[in-house]
Structure 1
Amino acid sequence: MNKIKILYAEDDETLAYLTKDNLEQSGYSIFHFSDGNSCLENFKKENFDICIFDIMMPKMDGFELATEIRKINTDIPIIFLSAKTLKEDKLKGLRLGADDYLVKPFSIEELILKIEVFLKRSNKNLIKQNHQYSIGKYNFDSDNYLVFNDDEKINLTQRESELLKLFLDNKNIVLKREEILKSLWGDDDYFMGRSLDVFISRLRKILANENGIAIENLHGIGFKFKLEL
């Protein structure tokens, strides 16, 4: 599984070194920049899983940086780390789209806990990075939304492909219904739940003739993709 990539902006060299070192020891891949402009430029080039920003930085402060990030990506978690303790500053950060605000000096253990909470919420730990799969007589290409073999090609929608990938990455494991919905849609409301049922019905039809494969419905809980091949 690929490492979680964290975009980190902090102009205090000592604090940045200590924070980066602790996070890397916890298994994260840290991309550190000392000003907002450099941070934003690299955000445009790379895919990150979470952002951690200081507020008072040269060239572009953390508030401006978060504003620009939100124009590009409305979902990525953003955590502010700042010496600014006024309630007004915290509220401003949250209104700009930050998910949390920790005041310096902060506990590295608390920061790591916050990171884990937001990654779990966005299901970054749930979705792994495989792209090619074998399912009985079929192959599955998740990048191209395609289930195929030598005789047949079945095109999936993006959501169907994401759902099948999620099941295969977690085969023989119970996935709660709300976990699936939040992973694919970011929410678990009624209408998305109805869409999920439609997609599962379609996947069942595609795999109906495959012995040893089943999508088991656990009433009131969720689903299990059973693979006994």
Structure 2
Amino acid sequence: MVKLNKIVNKFKINFVKNGIDPDEVNKAFGKANLDDLECLTDLFGVFSKSSTFYKEDDLETLKKYNVPDVVVDFYRNFEPQNLPALSGGIRLMALESIKEENSSAVPSLYFIKYGLLTIATTIGGHVICIDLNRINNNEPSVVIADYSFCSYNDELDVIECINVPDEIADNYSDDEPIILSYSLIKNCLPQISVSFSDFLTNLANEKYEDIETEYLLS
């Protein structure tokens, strides 16, 4: 908790430095509503009901995932509330926005089944996710995905990856769909931080200058 306090205080110092009214700065983070927090503490219960794409049975995989305590503690005590864009053009989401994004927005609603939870977006509409499959020292890694990475193919009734590195695409024939899987997610989505707290620290220290240019395909 001490580390999270230091990170949030650094954010607030930056906001004041950038000319935001101190009264507004004090409203930038706040205690979460416990009902809203369920989108982190009860993934299956929330998203099996709220997903606009998957049926409840499709999301049985979510029962095996637990969002690590450091993530839950951050949102419980310091939920982002109407934050301005941060370094690199990154916007941290409030809990209600996290629920809506992962229930109904592309590509986040496709990722949720595979244990990725979008927690932020970029100016260009790309998404930043915690990967609950890759936990190190009780923290998830953080990855970024191009908004055009995958889409639903109505004709084939599959989620098709359409914006992948050449070395991945070369493994498929021209008329063969690249069907979304966790293996593809792991091999295609760039990791921007080894842990959630390091991601927040990098944001607070303004280390991300242009995250889209640095990490995404041109």
Q: TM-score, normalised by structure 1?
A: 0.26
Q: Could you say which structure has the higher helix fraction?
A: 2
Q: Structure 2 length normalisation: TM-score?
A: 0.27
Q: Looking at both structures, which has the greater relative contact order when contacts are Cα pairs under 8 Å and sequence separation is at least 6?
A: 2
